Amino acid sequence: MKLIDQFSDARPAWRALAEDSRSRWTGAAGPQILSWNAQANDTWIFLSDVAQGEQGTGPGIGGVTWNCDINSFCSNQNIAMNVHWTDIYFNRTAMDGTDNNQGERDLA
């Protein structure tokens, strides 16, 4: 899976947390490989920061995942679909008020 950083221009401190999470996911048991660089047959995951209340975030919600199909239909609900790309939106208010451990858990 290719991770696409759309947050570090506004939140540069999050990049180290995201790298720690990426490294842990890649090292975990299973076939997943997360990379900042493109690989063959990747699914792209866009990582973005949003204001609280946008994209389904709210108080105490560190982030929301939206999966999208090839027709650009996106949902943050638990439904079956062939995922073409994923948008993960991190709540700036929730993330900025957490310690690094919680921030890394939110990014994971």
Whole-number pLDDT of residue 101: 53
Whole-structure pTM value: 0.80
Segment 8-23, tens digit of pLDDT: 888 888 888 888 888 8
In which region does residue 60 sit, left (phi positive, over 0), alpha (psi from -120 to 50) or beta (all else)? left
> Where along the chain do its domains lie?
2-107
The answer to whether residues 36 and 2 touch, using CB atoms and an 8 Å cutoff, is: yes
What integer is the mean pLDDT of 76-84?
A: 93
H-only helix segments in the chain: 14-27, 92-96, 100-107
Q: Name the one residue in this structure whose structure tokens are 């999470």.
A: 21
Mean pLDDT of the chain: 84
Q: Name the one residue in this structure whose structure tokens are 């990747």.
A: 42
Whole-number pLDDT of residue 107: 59
Segment 24-70, tens digit of pLDDT: 888 888 888 888 888 888 889 999 989 999 998 888 888 899 999 99
